[in-house]
């Protein structure tokens, strides 16, 4: 792993340290400033960091070798987002407020349409790699996985591709959409549907 890759591995620790500092600051000297700082640290700083990161290290669809010594653009983006996989309650809170989670995904670079319904227990691993139309319903514990990793011949291969979901789609509980999945307008996915890499449903 490159030196920059190792440095980016510390990003979740940085966010947690800043958030803890805001909490201790509030305990020491309470004021409205610390809750605002905590919200900015947890919900604004990471997506802005990702957008800046992508200006210099843009994510590209396709195959790459994570085992190469050069810096992996995906690895850096992953480290910026991984705190929300480790602590899913942070995102679940946003999904309780209509419209807020969709707006937050747009801050990351996702394209999200109008009137999208998110159940609280959803996992999205690559927030900038999601394209969602209008009036889409996500069932309980759906997963949107914009990448797949596979060892091959002594190397670690990464496959990355955006997930595209059309308008008026219903995605049943427990469904998993892999990288490159395309869901056509009006599609209905039954419970526990897996849409594998580069597969189109509709």
Q: Could you tell me which CATH number the domain at 3-201 has?
A: 2.160.10
Q: Do β-strands 147-152 and 155-160 pair in parallel, antiparallel, or remain unpaired? A: antiparallel
Residue 18, CA distances (Å) to 39, 40, 48, 62, 192 in order: 11, 10, 16, 35, 38
Q: How far apart are CA 96 and CA 105, in angstroms?
A: 14
Q: How sure is the predictor about 147, in pLDDT bands with cuts at 50, 70 and 90?
A: very high
Per-residue pLDDT, 202: 61
Strand arrangement of the beta sheet that strand 194-195 belongs to: 123-124, 143-144, 176-177, 194-195
- Of the candidate ranges 65-69, 92-96, 143-147, the one whose mean pLDDT is the lowest: 65-69
Per-residue pLDDT, 1: 75
Model pLDDT for residues 15-42, shown as the tens digit of each residue: 999 999 999 999 988 999 999 999 999 9
For range 93-118, the mean pLDDT: 96
Query: Whole-model pTM?
Result: 0.91
Q: Is residue 200 scored above 70 in pLDDT?
A: no
For range 89-111, the mean pLDDT: 95
User: Longest C-alpha distance within the chain, in Å?
Assistant: 57
Per-residue pLDDT, 201: 66
Q: So where are the chain's domains?
A: 3-201
Segment holding 143, helix H or strand E:
strand 143-144
């Amino acid at each position: 792993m490159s030196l920059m890759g190792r440095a980016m591995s510390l990003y979740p620790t940085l966010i947690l340290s800043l958030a803890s500092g805001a909490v201790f600051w509030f305990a020491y000297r309470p004021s409205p400033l610390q809750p605002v700082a905590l919200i900015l640290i947890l919900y604004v700083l990471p997506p802005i960091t990702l957008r800046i990161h992508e200006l210099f290290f843009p994510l590209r669809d396709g195959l790459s070798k994570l085992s190469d010594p050069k810096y992996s653009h995906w690895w850096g983006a992953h480290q910026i987002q991984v705190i929300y996989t480790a602590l899913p309650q942070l995102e679940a809170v946003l999904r309780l407020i209509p419209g807020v989670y969709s707006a937050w995904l747009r801050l990351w670079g996702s394209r999200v349409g109008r009137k999208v319904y998110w159940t609280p227990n959803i996992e999205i691993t690559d927030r900038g790699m999601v394209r969602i139309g209008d009036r889409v319903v996500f069932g309980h514990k759906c997963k949107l996985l914009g990448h797949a990793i596979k060892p091959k011949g002594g190397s670690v291969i990464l496959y990355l591709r955006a997930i595209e979901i059309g308008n008026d789609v219903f995605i049943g509980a427990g469904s998993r959409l892999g990288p490159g999945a395309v869901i056509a307008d009006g599609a209905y996915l039954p419970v526990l549907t897996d849409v594998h890499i580069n597969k189109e449903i509709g």
